[in-house]
Each structure stands twice: as structure tokens, then as C-alpha cells.
Amino acid sequence: MIKVGIIGSTGYAGGELVRILTGHKEAEIVWYGSRSYVNQRYAEVYRNMFQIVDAACMDDNMEELARQADVIFTATPQGLCASLVNEDILTETKIIDLSADFRIKDVSVYEKWYGIKHKSPQYIEEAVYGLCEINRADVRRARLVANPGCYTTCSILTAYPLAREGMIDMSTLIVDAKSGTSGAGRGASLPNLFCEVNENMKAYGVASHRHTPEIEEQLGYASGEKVVINFTPHLVPMNRGILATEYASLKKEVRYEDVKAVYDKYYQDEKFIRVLDKDVLPETKWVEGSNYVDINFKIDPRTNRIIMMGAIDNLVKGAAGQAVQNMNLMFGLDESEGLNLVPMFP
Amino acid sequence: MIKVGIIGSTGYAGGELVRILTGHKEAEIVWYGSRSYVNQRYAEVYRNMFQIVDAACMDDNMEELARQADVIFTATPQGLCASLVNEDILTETKIIDLSADFRIKDVSVYEKWYGIKHKSPQYIEEAVYGLCEINRADVRRARLVANPGCYTTCSILTAYPLAREGMIDMSTLIVDAKSGTSGAGRGASLPNLFCEVNENMKAYGVASHRHTPEIEEQLGYASGEKVVINFTPHLVPMNRGILATEYASLKKEVRYEDVKAVYDKYYQDEKFIRVLDKDVLPETKWVEGSNYVDINFKIDPRTNRIIMMGAIDNLVKGAAGQAVQNMNLMFGLDESEGLNLVPMFP
Amino acid sequence: MIKVGIIGSTGYAGGELVRILTGHKEAEIVWYGSRSYVNQRYAEVYRNMFQIVDAACMDDNMEELARQADVIFTATPQGLCASLVNEDILTETKIIDLSADFRIKDVSVYEKWYGIKHKSPQYIEEAVYGLCEINRADVRRARLVANPGCYTTCSILTAYPLAREGMIDMSTLIVDAKSGTSGAGRGASLPNLFCEVNENMKAYGVASHRHTPEIEEQLGYASGEKVVINFTPHLVPMNRGILATEYASLKKEVRYEDVKAVYDKYYQDEKFIRVLDKDVLPETKWVEGSNYVDINFKIDPRTNRIIMMGAIDNLVKGAAGQAVQNMNLMFGLDESEGLNLVPMFP
Amino acid sequence: MIKVGIIGSTGYAGGELVRILTGHKEAEIVWYGSRSYVNQRYAEVYRNMFQIVDAACMDDNMEELARQADVIFTATPQGLCASLVNEDILTETKIIDLSADFRIKDVSVYEKWYGIKHKSPQYIEEAVYGLCEINRADVRRARLVANPGCYTTCSILTAYPLAREGMIDMSTLIVDAKSGTSGAGRGASLPNLFCEVNENMKAYGVASHRHTPEIEEQLGYASGEKVVINFTPHLVPMNRGILATEYASLKKEVRYEDVKAVYDKYYQDEKFIRVLDKDVLPETKWVEGSNYVDINFKIDPRTNRIIMMGAIDNLVKGAAGQAVQNMNLMFGLDESEGLNLVPMFP
């Protein structure tokens, strides 16, 4: 039985980790970390967990946690994980960091986009970017995994095969993404009040959202060239779900079957990536509550562009689900253990 | 492995049966019945099931189904199950009927409230009302189970212990219930369009809703007297969830502890019924996607009334989840097999 | 031109006052009070008002306001208006208080339910309860109007004619009310976050909500007896709208026409109260954005109860609209000036 | 008093025409056309209109209507207006067509994208494209106005000044648009059921939506070159609102002030177009219920692209409001008569 500690267990991503791990046969949570709710029963913070989780919330104590846990999930604000990690800890336990601290290899890029100083840049190189379908082999060997962002997971996987195969002109790539509101976290804030979000839609972080360099870096590895994109996130009045609509110019004329073959080459054996049937467009609701990424595309011969679309549940494949998938890889378990979550509809 | 056939597998309750049974270790679906989608792939009707369910929809064929299936779920409009059942079929298979056909023991009450002639009244007596927590022993022995309605499950379980113990004046009982829109089914209809339901709230079926006699009959058995109530359902702009707010006069002065003890007497060993801590009021979101019933109450000394509240997911404990719970009982399985569904939040 | 000052203009009720008064031909706002946003442009707080309202927010200054304004609306937390009012101010200006400070005639009841000491009980008697359709004559002469609460407006008007005519047993009255989330105000708070409210429904303030004594007092005047009720508010995932479902035993057997005649007696000349056609049940969406109250009822001969239903927009007839209606009466204007708001659908 | 006839008054756009015209001082509706509800009271179809509209619905009778009405709004499916219009009718009355029949000058483009034969191509040239801010002078003289589509109004106005001034490379223009569900109309259909739309987001009509050629034609006139774009509409779980996010490469390096000056050149005197303050991004909620278009932009020096954003209420500026604005122009009235609608928030 893998002993799991969670720092930040009372945010939405933390709560989803608890939901998923509760159904995981090889893992048990031994530490429900939450600075805001120390000593309060977890099931009072998330009442869905009444009579399911009996534990109380614990303060952050990385040293003690490292002793007790085989793996620590940090579902915390940027900067915290980097400030806590050190060699002693990494010797005793594994870390899956759901924040951005170890996602970006160039520390200056991280510091510029996040506006904070990185506290342990020495671990950036070692850290594995935990996009399981792309970096599976490295994840298996990792002590420290940087769990990808929600927008980035969706955006990268949707374009990856075409970037990798050189099918699209990377300088034309535009990602227009739409997210449910759980991505904004559980902090009390006026803009996230029901009456402000409901019956409303807006873009935010235009040309400045922090997930931009993360997408650029990963698609840069895939395409073998420097990638600079436009990424525009939007807030949608729904709880869960990310839909990414991506535009790029095709390098040459291609048919549906050509593109489909490329997607299949990379994804047909991937359990959690479903390339949909021709003309079926992804909808966030069809993946809700599950670890799936649904992907499809449409070629527009009028403009010679391809429109790629991907949908995920931002809290599952975009956060907690992928984190558990990473854990499964790191501990040599069946990659889908705990993740056989059938999407809930409606 | 129990072989399961579903008639009406493409309605919302049918879809939920498929979702739940997909995760059930001792059952497999051998027949996805759907008159509307014969020969169409099930995963084209419910795209969440892409790459999960491979089968195509089949027409209704009760005889063939009875041969192939150990149990048949009928998630169909009123009257259909009653028109199909006969001795041959009940000899070959078990039936769990999610419609109202066998819920009401007095056939004239059924015919009056539902406005249709009952086609096989001879099975009404034999049929067991499948409210598992109340009729567990009978369900175990049943060939034909009448799966309770969504509103009724919530309404009955919320008041049952107090009715049973004679604590409330049954003639004063009022049930004001609120339901998400999936209860209205998947048929295309103007009143259920997004723009008609969203940002809106209304009562419907006031003093005439068909779940009324079902609640009255069951609470009549509990209290040992004829029960006539007001039941008012309301439509709420959400997908899932029923909240029942129930009012009744207390027969004598009681304290919180007295009432709590009565609830605990009946429910403390029930896995799927959670009597909440003092002053914590049920919210539908905390049971979403799960088989739980969350219940609590408040005594109002000013009026000498008790206000009881119960919350369920109408598609799970209010339909498919309870149906599977009944199946588990009928086949001697662990009652919660396939139903260890952690409520999803948010 | 009536000069209007608003204290608390940046809450949701304050914002609605601004929306309505912007279209009022005889009034202009001279003071946008808001402690939280002093010196900030109003249109930065409510961007719907961009290029419509040019003013900046002002701090609370009751003396100065009294000099500049012919009428002051206080859309503020309980206690503030009572702490600011005095004879000098009431000599110079009129006050319409949207808080509860002057709604309840018995100061001990106020202090008990609101848990604060009343700072100017000497004005309670003079204050007129501004339920226009009931107290029209008194409102015309008032210096100080207590604008009714949102739940109370809906609850009282729905039952008033039957209470007044002695048609119902007041000791059996139960009000089960459902409200959109704007009633909870614009303060940042976890329970009002989108993800907490959306896809959720709950009761709150059961047997303890502060609107209870207000309903009891007014229906007490109507019926001529002491009234004690159960009032249960619920939170609904929508922005606007209150639906009250009310239950009472009929004192004697009545027909639909008898009850309809009673409603018509009181309401048929009331522009803002619409008693619906037989069997048409109120829906909050049909009054959204308007000052209407839609009312209907259903007699249940099985239980000898009547179920009354009323729907309002909580921010209009439940707050700002009624406040403007009161202003119109106090200044001898056409009662519906500024309030010819056609409900918006969808 | 202008006598108005509406064909298709019971769709959502028709309903919004009624809402707006009810508050119009110089117009009265004399004909509520609705094939689906002939002889039924209009207020039974739209109960928000109870005691506001007293008329019954009438069948389509263009000749009679032409005699009675000074202007006819056709809020009908594509093809109907074209099949009804003729010289007699245009001699007697004016027509504002809310369908696409007369929007596209090249009849072969219309017939290809809409898949129907045009019944009266002889009027296409005469018809004025009723985008008031662009074609004001022509609208004033028109007998037949083609009221722009909802997506197109928003998409065109958002990019128009930059297209007109040659600031952007038109071959790079991509429009990613998001719409509330009222745009899908009031017909009963499974995909528009509450449970299918709620908590969901999807693209549709990718590379094939009919508003594409309309945007291309108008932006072609503006830029003086043939324009071919990608236009991708998305369905959002909200009733009203369109947000268009548009991407284009800048022809040369520009500063914020340069672009702002271009927008101001075209829009600073336009009452219904609000170019927002720097860094304030449009939100659909801030224009809800009003005729405003809110626009802003962001320059991304990293990619040398400009991201333009526009928001409208699809039923007002995107349909009924703009139609009334056109009517006002055609009859020489104040352009904003009946349209001083303050956006409703929340």
C-alpha cells in the first residue's frame, strides 16, 4: 500500500485527489495537509466526504511528511513546493508537484512569467514533466514530477502529433481555450462569485497567461523548433471542463485520412486519449469526471488551416487524475489504477 | 457474472445504469435496449461511452432478453413493463422495473393517477417495493422489484423513522421537493430547453403529481395509518439532485437528541444513508454522482413543527443506483458492489 | 427633478437602483455612496454602466447627503441606517431604507432576530412599511419608509388576500421559499462562489431566518391575529428570482372561483401584481428584470389545503423596484414611473 | 405612430422584438405573426407578456400585413422572406428581414452555404445590409433591410476599423466566437435540452458555419480585398451573449495608442459601440439586455498579432435591437428610440 501525503488537500485539485485516491486500490492517504483548516475534520471542509474520510487536516510539515509518506502531492500555490524540496526529502519520498514550480526548464522564463524567484532551481533539470503519454519512460524513473497545468495538458496533447510530425506551421499556432470555473480555485473572491460568473463569458490573461510558456516549451520539444504562440483563456459558466480550439496552417495539402493516421500513430494505444470519429467534435461534458482527453480536428481547405479541438476535465486529466497517473507510473502500478472513471452524463 | 439486459438504455436513467454497471465487478450488460436507436452504436448516443461501450442498441424483445439475461432493468415509460411481463419471463429471469407499474399495491390508485389501464395486475402483489433500506429482506427473495421513484425515495427515507416511531402527526406532513432537470428525461420538448429552464424556477404538478400516492402508501405502511399529504415538486436549473424539505407537527415536545436517536436507530448501519451532524443541512451537490441519501432535521419550538430535509442524486439513489442496489440484494452480492461512488465536487 | 442619493450603491440592490433610476424621468442620482469604492468611478465597479454613469463613488456623509438629496436610499447592512438617521436629516430629506432597521414595530423582536441593538428606536413607529400595494396611503405621507425584504415581499403578497379575508387557518401557514443567489449580496465569500452554488441546492436559515418575524408581523395585521409560521429559504443556482410556495389549511370548503374572487378583490387594479390564469403556475423567469409579482394558487381537496405560489425578481420588486415605487408614491409621481420594465425572456 | 407587423413573433428573436417595441414610443405592434400558434394569445406563448400584450397570434398573410403595417419584421427561417417579398409589398410597406435571405450579395454564395434556392434574387441588390454603424446612410433610404446575423454583427464590428484602415493582414484573421444558447432558437430539440447544454461546452459548424461568408463579404468591403477567414462558433451554457475573440497579424509594429485612435475614429461618436478602457476586457454580462457592443483589443508583441474582443447580447444588438435601430433610421426617428436599455447585472 502506497502511503500518500497531500499538501493543499482542501483546494479543488486537492479535493479531487482525495476523491480519486479514495477509489485507488494500492494507495491510502496518510496526510491531509491544509494550512487553512488545520485540525478541522476534512469532511467538514468537503461534506461530500462525510463518512468516507475520517481524518483531520494537518499543517504543512515536509520533513514529517517525507518520513510518513511514499509520495507527496503538492497542490499548492506557485513557489511553495520549490521552497520545501531538498535532498533529504527527495531521498525519503517522491514528489508530484501540481504547481508550476518545476514545469519550465529555463528558470528565467519561470521567474519572468510567474514574477517570483525560484527557490530551488537545482532540481529543475531533474524534474520530469509529467505528461504521461509523452514522457512515460522518464516518469517511471522520476523522484520529482512536475504535473502539467490544466490548459497546457489539453493544449499540448491536442496539437502534439501534428507538431511532432511537422505537419503544421508552428509559427501560426493559436490556442483559444475555454475553462470551467473550478480552475480559478476555491479562494473567496468577488470575480468568482456565482452572480459574476453565471450567465457570463470573458477572456482573461490575454497575451499574458502563465500557461503560455509551458505550452511553448513542450511543443517546442515536439516540433524541434522554438515555438511562440497566442494562447487565450476564457472563463465559462460551468464547474468543470476545458475545451481548447487550436488553429494552425498546414505545411502542405493533406486529407482527413493523413491527419487521422498521424493522431493514431501517437494515440491509438493510449487509453486516456480518445481521437473521436470523423466529424464528431469534442464536448467537455463527455469527459466530465474522467481522465480522458477527447480530440478531433477539421481541415479547412478554404484557408489551408487545420482546426484542432481537445476536451478534458480540468480537475482530472488537467490536475488530480494526471497526478495519480504519474504516481502509478512512478510506482510501477497499472497506469490506469484508480482512474477507471466513467464520464458522468448529464 | 450476472448477465444484464436493459430496456430503455438510452434515457438518462438508462445511461446511468450503464455508467454504474460498467464499474460493477459481477455484472455485464448483454443487451442495450432502445427502441429509438435500434442498431445505432450506444457510444454514438452517449458519447461519454466512446471506447468504453462497444455494443449497438437493440430493439425490445422480452422473450429473447429473458433467455439471455439473468436480470432485466426496464427504464421505460409507465405501462411498458406491465405489458411485457408474464410467467414465462419471470421464470427465466428477474425484473427490476424503474417505472411505476408495480410500485402501487392498489391497482385502482395506479390507474387513477397514471391514467392508464394496468396490463398485468396479477403481479402487483408479488412485486417488492425496492426501497432497499426498508424492504431488504423481501428484495432478496424477489423475482420482480418495483424500483421506487426519485422524489419518493428521497421523500420517504427523509421522514420514515419519524413516521415509523409515531413521532409526527402524519396528517400535517407536507413535502416540498426540488429536482434537477434530468428527472424530466431526454425527450426533446420545449419546456426542457436550456433557455426555458436556466435562470428559472417553478412548481409543477401541484396537488396532482404521480409520486404522491407512492409516498402516501409507503409512509402509510410505516406509520400504520392512512396517509394523505401535500407533495409539491419544483424544477431547478441544475442537471442532477433532489432536495426534499418536509414539514410535520410533532406529536409531543422533543429534543434534538430524541429525534437524532430515532434516525440513528434506523439508519446508523446503513451505508448509503448519512444522517448529518447537528445543524449541517443537506446539499444536493454533496451527494452528486453517488448513491447516498443525506438527511437532517431541525426542530422549531415556535411552531412545534419539525423540518426534515433529504438530498439525493435523482439518477443514482433515485433511479439507477438503487436499481443496482436491488440487483445486488437479489443476487446475494455485496449490497454496495458497483456503488462505491464518491460524490463529485464541485 | 428629484435629487437622489444612494448609500450602498455598489451592492447588487444598489446597482439595481442605479439601473432603474437611470431610466426614471423625474429623478437623477446625485450621490453614488460606497464605502468600499470611495473615489473610484462607478462604471469601474459596474462595467455595464460604462458611458452611462460618469460619477465616482462617494463616502457616506449623511449630513451632506441630506442637504443635496431630496431622498436617500440606504442599501446597506442592518444597523447602518438606524445609526445615521436623526431629526435634522428627516427634516431635510426623505429616507427609503432597504435594510431591516425600521421594518419591525417591536424593537425587541428586531433586536432578538438581528442580534444588534437598535440605534434609533424612536423612529420605528413613524416609519411606514413600504409594501406599496398594502400601505399605499401611508407611504404617500411618509418621511421614512422601511422597504420590505425580498422574501417577505413575495411571501406576504402571495398570502395577503386570503389572510385578510380569513380564508385560511393562519396557524397552519408554511412558506417554503427559493431564491436566486444575488440575494446573498456581492461580498466575496466561499459559499457564494460559482462552483459552490452551481449545480447545487440547499435550505438555509431553517427556523431562524430573519425575514420570519417580518412576514409574521405583516400577515398578523392582515389577519388580525398573532401569526407564527415556518419559513424556509433555499438557495437556487440562478442569479435572480424568488419563488414562494405557501401551504395553509382552508377554514372551509371553497371553490376555485371563490378564491380567485378574493385575489381579484385586492389585486385586480394593481399594475404590478398579476394573478395568473387558472392552472398557470408562476415561474421566476417570467418576471425577471421587472417589478411584477406573479401569483396563483391551487386548492387540494384531498388535504383541504391551498397551495399559494408567488414569484418576483428579488432585486426589483424585492428591493430596488419597490424602493422606486415607494419614492414615486412619496413624491406624488405616477407610481409606475421608471418601472415599466418588461420582463426579459429568456 | 408606426404600425409594425412581425412574422415569426414567437421565436426568441421575435419575442425580443416584442419586448423592445413595447417600450418604443413611436411604434405599435399591429400583427403578432406566428404560424405555430395561430389564434393563441401571445401572452400564453410568452407568459412574461401577461397583462402587457393582449393580442392573439396571427397566421402569415403578407398581403394583408403589407396593408396594415408600415414595416414588417421577418424573424423567420431562411428562405421565407425571399419567398414572400414582391413589388406590391415593397410599395406598400418596408421590410426588415432578420433572416439571411438578403445579406449576401452573391446569390450563388448564399445558395451554396444555405443549401436552398433563392426565391427573389432580384431584390438582393436593392437590399441594404443593416449594420447601422457602417451603412447608416443607406439604411435611411432603404425599403428592404437585411438585418445582420448575431455572430456577424459582433465579429464584423470588432475588426472593422482595423480592416478598414489596413492595419491587419486580412489573410490571417481568425474569429473564435462563443454564444449563449438562445441563438439556437426555441424549437424543441435534444441537443438544446437543458441537461445537454448545461455544464458543457463545444464547438460546432467548424469551417462550415453559414455566418462565415457574411463576415467575409462585409470585411471584404471594409478592407477592399477578398477576405477568407476561419470562423468557429461555440455553444456556451448561458442564455444570452456572444463573445468574439479575433486574431490577426499586424501589418506593422503599432502601439496601443495607434490602435485605440483607429477604433475611436470610427466609434467614438457611436452610442451603441463602447470601446473599453485599456486592459478592460469585454464580458457578455455587461451588455446583457442592451444594444451595446463592447470592444477592446490587446497587442501581443511576441507574436506580432493583435487579439480583438467584442461582446454583444445576441438577441438585442445581434437581432431585435439592431432591427429596431434599423427601423428608427428608416423612419427618421432618433436612432436610439426604444433602445435606451441599461444592461442588466447580475
Contact across the interface for A47 and B283, Cβ inside 8 Å: yes
Res B303: pLDDT:
98
The size of the A-D interface in CB pairs under 8 A is 152
Res A165: pLDDT:
98
For residues A202-214, give the mean pLDDT.
Answer: 97
Looking at beta carbons, which pairs linking C32-37 to residues 24 or more positions away fall under 8 Å?
C32/C6, C32/C56, C32/C57, C32/C58, C33/C5, C33/C6, C33/C7, C33/C8, C33/C9, C33/C57, C33/C58, C33/C59, C33/C60, C33/C65, C34/C8, C34/C9, C34/C10, C34/C58, C35/C59, C35/C60, C36/C10, C37/C10
Phi-psi region of A85 (alpha: psi -120 to 50; beta: other; left: phi over 0): beta
The set of chains that have 3 or more CB pairs under 8 A with D is A, B, C
pTM exceeds 0.95, yes or no: yes
pLDDT tier, C42 (very low <50, low <70, confident <90, very high otherwise): very high
Asked if the C-beta of D267 comes within 8 angstroms of chain C's C-beta atoms, the answer is no
Res A208: pLDDT:
96
Q: How many residues does chain B have?
A: 346
Of D268, D256, D171, the closest CA to residue D216 belongs to D171
Mean pLDDT, all residues of chain B: 97
pLDDT tier, A80 (very low <50, low <70, confident <90, very high otherwise): very high
Partner residue opposite C186 with nearest CB, options A188, A190, A238: A190
Interface of D with B in 62-101 (CB under 8 A): none
d(CA C169, CA C306): 10
pLDDT tier, B284 (very low <50, low <70, confident <90, very high otherwise): very high
Low-confidence ranges of chain D (pLDDT < 50): none
Interface of C with D in 228-257 (CB under 8 A): 239-240
Of B49, B295, B298, B291, the closest CA to residue B161 belongs to B295
d(CA B68, CA C46): 64
Contact across the interface for B207 and C234, Cβ inside 8 Å: no
- pLDDT tens digits for range C149-179: 999 999 999 999 999 999 999 999 999 999 9
E strands of C54-196, at which residues? 71-74, 94-97, 128-129, 144-146, 174-179
Res D332: pLDDT:
98
> Which position among A57, A81, A132, A150 bears the catalytic label?
A150
CATH of C151-314, one of 3.30.360.10, 3.40.50.2000, 3.40.50.150, 3.30.1780.10: 3.30.360.10
Contacts of A47 in chain B (CB under 8 A): 276, 280, 283, 286
Asked if the C-beta of A52 comes within 8 angstroms of chain C's C-beta atoms, the answer is no
Strand order in the sheet with C202-203: C202-203, C230-235, C174-179, C242-249, C305-312, C293-300, C273-275
Partner residue opposite A206 with nearest CB, options D229, D237, D281: D281
ipTM: 0.97
Query: In this structure, what are the phi and psi dihedrals at residue D331, rounded to the nearest 5 degrees?
Result: -105, 10
Residue extents of the structural domains in chain D:
2-126, 151-314
Asked if the C-beta of C346 comes within 8 angstroms of chain A's C-beta atoms, the answer is no
Asked if the C-beta of C344 comes within 8 angstroms of chain D's C-beta atoms, the answer is yes
Res B113: pLDDT:
97
Closest chain B residue to A47 measured between Cα atoms?
A: B286
d(CA A57, CA A67): 18
Closest chain A residue to C237 measured between Cα atoms?
A: A194
- The CA–CA distances, whole Å, from C87 to A112, C67, C122, C144 equal 60, 13, 10, 11
What is A2-126's CATH number? 3.40.50.720
Looking at beta carbons, which pairs linking B32-41 to residues 24 or more positions away fall under 8 Å?
B32/B6, B32/B56, B32/B57, B32/B58, B33/B5, B33/B6, B33/B7, B33/B8, B33/B9, B33/B57, B33/B58, B33/B59, B33/B60, B33/B65, B34/B8, B34/B9, B34/B10, B34/B58, B35/B59, B35/B60, B36/B10, B37/B10
Query: In this structure, what are the phi and psi dihedrals at residue D257, rounded to the nearest 5 degrees?
Result: -65, -35
- pLDDT tens digits for range C276-327: 999 999 999 999 999 999 999 999 999 999 999 999 999 999 999 999 999 9
Asked if the C-beta of C207 comes within 8 angstroms of chain A's C-beta atoms, the answer is no
Alpha-helical regions (H) of B141-207 = 150-164, 194-197
Cell matching residue A152: 497546457
Partner residue opposite D197 with nearest CB, options B12, B186, B194: B194
Res A277: pLDDT:
98
Res A36: pLDDT:
95
E strands of chain A, at which residues? 2-7, 27-32, 71-74, 94-97, 128-129, 144-146, 174-179, 202-203, 230-235, 242-249, 273-275, 293-300, 305-312
Contacts of C113 in chain B (CB under 8 A): none
The set of chains that have 3 or more CB pairs under 8 A with C is A, B, D
Residue with cell 491527419: A259
Res C76: pLDDT:
94
Asked if the C-beta of C185 comes within 8 angstroms of chain A's C-beta atoms, the answer is no
Contacts of B194 in chain D (CB under 8 A): 181, 192-194, 196-198, 237, 239
pLDDT over 90, % of chain A: 100
- pLDDT tens digits for range C47-104: 999 999 999 999 989 999 999 999 999 999 999 999 999 999 999 999 999 999 999 9
Q: Which CATH superfamily is domain B151-313 in?
A: Dihydrodipicolinate Reductase; domain 2 (3.30.360.10)
Å between B300 CA and nearest CA of chain C:
6
For residues B120-135, give the mean pLDDT.
Answer: 98
Report how many helices (DSSP H) and strands (DSSP E) chain A contains, helices first: 12, 13
Å between D91 CA and nearest CA of chain B:
38
